[in-house]
Amino acid sequence: MRMGSYMKKMIVLVSVENVSAAEKVIKKAKAQLGLDKGRRVLKKDNTRILFSSGIIQKSFENVEKLAKFKDYDMIIIPVYGENVKAYPKIHDIKIYVNNQLGFSVFICAVRPNPADKDVDDAVENIFDIVTANIGL
């Protein structure tokens, strides 16, 4: 049974200040969920969860490129915070992925210049969301 048949698809936007913070959070979350190094897709039964390998597109015009992820049940994707002007606002991404692609949206915020505890807290949030929704 695909996740989409009994619950809405979900996207987790990991709101970060920079690439370094994103890499730390995504790498640790994947490891905690048992995803081997280099793999980006976690599968359980017919549910597919994608850990995006890079920061979201660099302009609002490119937000629609997220449509390439529409066949996944859950996506974990880092996105720059609102203070970085070149990137789309999280609000704009939320509207697009919710209304156009049918994903419910959860934002996992990571403080600027995160300490190890901040990274660990974000990883725990991602772990809880994933495990609660796919029954690991």
Tell me if 89 sits within 8 A of 97, measured CB to CB.
Answer: no
For position 2, what pLDDT does the model report?
Answer: 45
Residue predicted with more confidence, 33 or 136: 33
pLDDT in tens, 30-62: 999 999 888 999 988 888 999 986 656 555 567
- In the three-class reduction of DSSP (H, G, I as helix; E, B as strand; rest coil), residue 133 is classed as helix
Question: Is the pLDDT at 84 greater than 70, yes or no?
Answer: no
- Nearest Cα to 134, choosing from 70, 66, 69, 76? 76
For residues 128-135, average pLDDT: 84
pLDDT in tens, 2-30: 444 445 799 998 888 877 888 889 999 99
For position 136, what pLDDT does the model report?
Answer: 57
Average pLDDT across the chain, whole number: 82
| Residue-range domains of the chain with CATH | 8-134 (3.40.50)
Residue 112 per-residue DSSP state: S
